[in-house]
């Protein structure tokens, strides 16, 4: 949404309060979703490392003369899954809810009449929240795509290894 093209003078103080409240709530929710997705990525990474360790141990021990091929495929698949999930684990610039006072205490606002300052401050905060929401949604989509790709690689590797076990390769 293009917030620059909005005629802000058509909104009263209560409307601006409502818009500001809703935008702050959405910004908070995008940040929470970001944290939850990052936690899921770390859980998946822990699972990948556990399976990787099990596969290495199985190859080294070579128990019951089981073929090493499925374990080697698991190791390769886990490496690709870790490669896919890596971008989701790197800290990225998220926008936090709230505004620094330094961003609101500008010369621009000093030149506005006192009765209009509150409206202008709310408009400034709404625009900043909108930009933050858009940035967070973009980063969240990138992380989600990375996580999904990693899960797909993991599942395809698992299915292929089950096929190898079934075929006794």
Mean pLDDT of the chain: 83
Sign (positive/negative) of CA torsion 28, 33, 34, 39? positive
Radius of gyration, alpha carbons of the chain: 25
Residue 60 in tokens: 């080294």
Q: How far is CA 161 from the centre of its chain?
A: 30
Q: What's the pLDDT band for 6 if we cut at 50, 70, 90?
A: confident
Collect all residues with Cβ–Cβ distance below 8 Å to 133 and sequence separation of at least 6: 23, 26, 27, 30, 95
Q: If pLDDT is split at 50, 70 and 90, which confidence band does 41 have?
A: very high
**Does 37 reside within a domain?**
yes
Identify the pLDDT of residue 96. Answer: 72
Q: How far is CA 36 from CA 65, 132, 137, 147, in A?
A: 42, 18, 14, 12
Q: What percent of the chain has pLDDT over 90?
A: 27
Give me the mean pLDDT over the 4-14 stretch. 76
Residue 105 phi/psi, 5-degree rounding, is -90, 75
Asked, for residue 1, whether it belongs to a domain, the answer is: no
**Tens digit of pLDDT for each residue in 95-144?**
777 777 776 666 766 777 767 777 777 888 888 888 888 888 899 999 99
Structure tokens at 6: 């909005």
CB atoms within 10 A of CB 3: 15
C-alpha–C-alpha distance, residues 163 and 96, integer Å: 46
Higher pLDDT, 84 or 60: 84
The total number of structural domains in the chain stands at 1
Give residue for tokens 């609101």: 104
**Between 162 and 155, the higher pLDDT residue:** 155
User: Does residue 77 lie in a domain region?
Assistant: yes
Q: For the segment 55-80, what is each residue's pLDDT rounded down to a tens digit?
A: 888 888 876 566 777 788 889 999 99
Q: What is the mean pLDDT of residues 18-35?
A: 87
**Would you say residue 99 lies in a domain?**
yes
**Would you say residue 137 lies in a domain?**
yes
Position 120 scores a pLDDT of 79
Full residue range of the structural domain in which residue 133 is found: 7-167
Residue 2 domain flag: no
Amino acid 91: pLDDT: 81
Higher pLDDT, 162 or 145: 145
* pLDDT score of 114: 67
């Amino acid at each position: 949404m293009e917030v620059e093209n909005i005629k802000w003078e058509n909104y009263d103080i209560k409307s601006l309060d409502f818009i500001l409240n809703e935008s702050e709530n959405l910004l908070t929710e995008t940040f929470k979703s970001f944290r939850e997705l990052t936690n899921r990525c770390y859980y998946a990474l822990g699972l990948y490392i556990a399976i990787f360790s099990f596969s290495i141990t199985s190859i080294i021990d070579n128990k019951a003369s089981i073929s090493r091929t499925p374990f080697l495929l698991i190791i390769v698949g886990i490496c690709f899954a870790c490669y896919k999930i890596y971008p989701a684990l790197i800290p990225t610039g998220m926008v936090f809810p709230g505004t620094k006072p330094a961003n609101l205490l500008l010369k621009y606002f000093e030149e506005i009449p006192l009765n209009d300052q509150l409206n202008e401050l709310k408009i400034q905060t709404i625009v900043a929240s909108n930009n933050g929401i858009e940035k967070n949604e973009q980063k969240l989509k990138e992380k989600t795509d990375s996580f999904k790709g990693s899960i797909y690689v993991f599942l395809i590797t698992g299915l292929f290894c089950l096929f190898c076990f079934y075929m006794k390769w």
